[in-house]
Amino acid sequence: MSLWLDFMGSEIRYIETPSYGKTRIAEAGRGNKETIIFLHGVGGHLEAYAKNIVALSDQFHVIAYDYISHGLSDRLPNIDYTPLVFVDHLRELMDAMGIDKANLSGESMGGWVSGLFAVKYPERLQRLNFNTAAGLPIITEKGRQELQDLVDLTAKATTQGPPTFESIKNRMKWLFHPANHDSMITEELVNTRLTCYTQAGSKETAPKVLAMIGMHDDFLIPMEEIKAQTLFLWTEDNPCHDIACAKSSAAKIPGSQLYIMKKDAAHWPQYESPEEFNDVVRQFFTNGTI
């Protein structure tokens, strides 16, 4: 089934931001009282949330968006990229859309950005969901090696020659549980990412974006400073940041909760097991418990 069937009922449009140009968003449930903003991982795009936007729009105003120099948003080559740039981009996007406060759900780098946003702009956050997030201290050698694997695979897919179908597919295997490779890493999904990676300006911006992975330990989220209700949503097979890592970080936020996905999933639980993910996120963003 085409992932665009999952988007039926949503609107794809562009929002102009003062400092970062055009930002592509997918949106559904406009007019609902509370907003959920989904943030994707490094090198990602809003299609990561194809199975969540419409499903949650019966109750929430739901938005997923492409970061600058990602997806189909504007490429900005003259920026020194750090996670804080993406924090500011999120603030400008919320301002441009007239959103005072939102629930944030961030996967991988999206969690990293969400956590830093929670510290810098606590007044603009309702509840926070770390979804297999980055920005947490990596505490095992296995995790360190998996981070290096990500660097190598991303370089092959973005900076070491033109991106190809095979290099993109190999990069995406890092995201998915092995049991889901054949059924979920479809030709359409790979070609969607390949289209994003071959946008004009990507050759100039991709190395700068990729370099942020090497900054990981320089911009760790100060968990002790997060005051919002927080959910760590994790998987048994998440690369880099394992369950012990999530537990260690969760212990630093009073009252935070940890949920381990029951179905096979690795780094993209929102896509690999959307019904379970949507049920848990709906419950948490509704009343702060799971």
Which region holds residue 240: left if phi is over 0, alpha if psi is between -120 and 50, else beta? left
> Given this model, what pLDDT does residue 210 score?
87
pTM comes to 0.96
Helix (H, G, I), strand (E, B) or coil at 58: coil
Identify the CATH assignment for 3-287 out of 3.40.50.1820, 3.30.420.40, 3.40.50.10490, 3.20.20.70.
Answer: 3.40.50.1820
Burial of 212 (0-12, 13-18, 19+ CB in 10 A): buried
> Given this model, what pLDDT does residue 30 score?
97
CB 244 within 8 A of CB 140: yes
CB 90 within 8 A of CB 21: no
What letter represents residue 92's amino acid? E
Segments of the chain with pLDDT less than 50: none
> Given this model, what pLDDT does residue 149 score?
80
> Given this model, what pLDDT does residue 157 score?
66
Domain boundaries in the chain?
A: 3-287
35-39 vs 61-65, strand pairing mode? parallel
Closest by CA position to 101, among listed 56, 34, 17: 34
